[in-house]
A and B are shown apart, each in its own frame.
Chain A
Amino acid sequence: MGKKIIIQVIVALFVILWVYTGYNKLVEYEEFRITLGRSPFIQPLAGFIAVVLPTGELLLALLLVIPKTRLLGLYLSFVTMTLFTGYIWLMLQYASDLPCSCGGVLEMMDWDDHLLFNAAFTVAALVAIVLSIMRKRKLSIT
């Protein structure tokens, strides 16, 4: 029962995160695209990422909403958050100009906070994956 609640809380947090940030990036598409264009690492792909990223975030939320695809959604959320965390770490290490293209209120965080926030979500995704697998095994045994 405890594991189930932990998984549900983590999934709910990810649903909120993906819907909120995906929606904000799509609504503020132009601003998002320009901010990405200022980012030294992804500048050449800014136009492409500006469309794919928010769409992908909303699709991730959809995967998490549907019980049958929830574990897949958690795996992809973990991969995405790992990439985001790596990107922020790279930006902090090597970029002099740090444009934030995070979407919504997340833009209010400074980059160190953002790194912690993303790392926490990455760990949470991993915890939810491990607990889901343990729960599945237990259910299949019984």
Chain B
Amino acid sequence: MKRLNLMAIIALLTLLTAASVQAGVFKGKARLQCSTNDYSSLQYQMTSNASYQLLMADDFCIPDICIYNYRLAMPSTVQVCNSGDFICCIRIIPADLFCPPSAPIRAKVICKPF
């Protein structure tokens, strides 16, 4: 019983710590996420002084063949933004057409503190 309690407490503390970090309690940073299909009109403002990593996620034309488009698009779409910067959710037009025309890559942008 004693051992169960010790491990359970460790598990609970870990869970609380992970949740706190996730919620930005320790980092003091905001998590921004675009969750709409209207990728061209959205803008978000960074809320803290921390640096952010802009991750582009192809959420539409996945996975297989379009992974190449995703990979090719990465260098041009990954950037670092700072407090006060505005980040737009963007629509990526594939540089090469591995994707069928009916399935254009739609990029979902997640601003993630790092």
Chain A residues near B (Cβ < 8 Å): 8, 11-12, 15-16, 19-20, 23-24, 27, 30-31, 34, 37-38, 43-44, 46, 61-62, 64-67, 97, 104
The A/B interface has a contact count, at CB < 8 Å, of 64
Interface size class of B (residues with CB under 8 A): 20 to 34
Q: Which residues of A contact B63 (CB under 8 A)?
A: 37-38, 43-44, 46
Interchain CB contact (< 8 A) of A15 among B10, B64, B67, B110: B10
Residue of B nearest to A11 (CB): B7
Contact B14 A34 (CB under 8 A): no
A31-B55 CB under 8 A given contacts A8-B6, A24-B18: yes
Chain B residues near A (Cβ < 8 Å): 3-4, 6-8, 10-11, 14-15, 17-19, 21-22, 55, 57-59, 62-64, 67, 70-71, 110, 112
A contact face: mostly helix, strand, loop, or mixed: helix
A8-B62 CB under 8 A given contacts A19-B14, A24-B18: no
